[in-house]
Chain A
């Protein structure tokens, strides 16, 4: 099984978009691709044609794969409701309001993740997996199933994404890498710096230093894109899909000059 997982050093680092770029790239290569996010926390959801509810970003990624969104692409979904209640949707269907702190729930969620991944991988040549939040939350390490646990489940090589827009990107990537136990660290094959603006030649010495420190190559520096975050709240899903697909098209085109897709292909093929 070929697959690749995108983890972030924070939430909002750009995992969803970069996963979508990978979905599009491998689809264009003639492969049957599926997105996968084990666990999503979002109030923006999508109802699949067969009536299952998943996170909106997996629906987008499915479209980037030229496929219909499917429950297996996001088997665990937390949907914030009114008054700090949380709706839990497993394999596309809501279960009773419950709290994710219940220790037995980890097993329940994990089995949904396993089922989801099995179905997603059976239906595809390659699964592009997306992590959730920061990948090295050391306060949660035994509870976090959405990041390294999923990478292990899928035996996926990992790309780490950091957002440079807020500064501290080298520290974020370095810290995330180093706070993972060594046996998990070895899954990380490359890093990507996202949302860069300015003079790239000023950044380069830092990238070289980080490559040396972590002993993995940088797969690219993506420029800051206004369209990267969908902010318009379009009520019509079709219109929203249309706008987003257009943005992805444009961003994929731009990314050609910034992302080392050859390296990413090698990583998927297990040659890195």
Chain B
């Protein structure tokens, strides 16, 4: 939406009132739809706060007549369904408020619906550490607390993909996490998907669409250092402008010291998203303390300082035997172990990056069984992990 400065005049408010009289939600019949993004909420097609002059949301641009005009092109906040609903409710039946009164309403609404999402990132000491499940669990736990939550994994290597709402392909894991958030999957939740095709070659899928086939070297040396960074940044930014919280998943281990300069999926993503991080480690194979310690100590001190806690996953049997080790690990690393999650039996599809099984594309997994599994995983995680501390970690940031 871009309106000339006349927008403040009477006829602009008429348009606001007219648009507020239409039903809430997405107006797919509008000839301009989607003017921002698929699935946007169109309740506030004409923004009552215009021009808010809030540079977290919009910006000044040059007008056709050489002056300056407030542009709302980048404002996705106003197209959140909850913001639309709430603003409409508050304006219902009232006379035209003054601009100042409107800005007070906006301030009030901002407290409920964040202008920029908080973020938290889950990294694993290995692949198969339980990142995907922990992210799905946190998505559901925070969604149930009333937050608008989205999952994000900058780069995923997987043979199993799902179809995003816009029609593109994303990894099945992010589709399941979207489902945990009670959202439709969209390609920005997993902007880069690598589908291994054998012999070190992968099909690179960008924002849901086939991009190019590359070997590992070309991917790291060319793609990551050039377009990769921007793709991740833009996708995350889009989500951050629409949600209260983005729960981010790393890929493999962040401490692959042979790749540290080109590892887009872990510490680079943490930097781009400015997310505090939690390390998850699978104890089933033994060596969990060594892997947790080694992972953090092989990172640079600045990188390490992003890590605010550790989760031990996949515990068979009683966790009381671990206490001595947990105490020692906390002392050595100076961050808390936030919980020990027991082994959870579930029937969600396993992710597999090595291409041993080939699963054909499945339509976005929306069914009861997945929901039951996610609910069970979320309640187990909530029972064994200190969620209050995670909330605080998100609040405090890096």
Contact = CB atoms under 8 A, between A and B. Distances in A.
B253 A139 contact: no
Q: Which of A10, A197, A204 has the most CB of B within 10 A?
A: A10
Chain A interface: which size bin?
Answer: 35 or more
A139 B298 contact: no
B216 A175 contact: no
A165 B321 CA distance: 28
A202 interface: yes
Contact of B256 (A8, A170, A175, A179): A170
B126 A175 contact: no
Given A138-B328, A175-B294, A206 B259 contact: yes
Contacts of B290: 9, 134-136, 171-172, 175-176, 179
A209 interface: yes
Interface stretch (B52-60, B83-91, B102-110, B281-289): B281-289
Given A10-B285, A170-B256, A198-B216, A179 B322 contact: no
B291 interface: yes
B309 interface: no
Contacts of A166: 126-128, 285
Interface of A: 8-13, 133-140, 165-168, 170-176, 178-179, 197-199, 201-207, 209-210
Interface string B309-330: 0000000000001111110110
A38 to B, nearest CB: 16
A9 B281 CA distance: 13
Closest 5 CB pairs of A and B: A175-B294, A139-B325, A206-B258, A134-B287, A171-B294
B297 interface: yes
Interface residues of B, number: 39
Given A168-B125, A175-B289, A139 B323 contact: yes
A170 B299 CA distance: 11
Contact of B252 (A11, A13, A167): A167
B258 A205 contact: yes
8 contacts: A133-B286, A134-B289, A138-B329, A139-B326, A168-B125, A168-B253, A198-B200, A209-B257
A167 to B, nearest CB: 4
Contact of A170 (B220, B294, B322): B294
A8 B288 CA distance: 12
A168 to B, nearest CB: 4
A261 to B, nearest CB: 24
Contacts of B253: 167-168, 171
Contacts of B200: 198-199
B295 A168 contact: yes
Given A11-B285, A138-B325, A139-B322, 16 more contacts: A11-B287, A136-B287, A138-B324, A139-B289, A140-B325, A167-B256, A170-B255, A170-B298, A172-B125, A173-B294, A174-B297, A175-B291, A176-B290, A198-B216, A199-B215, A206-B259
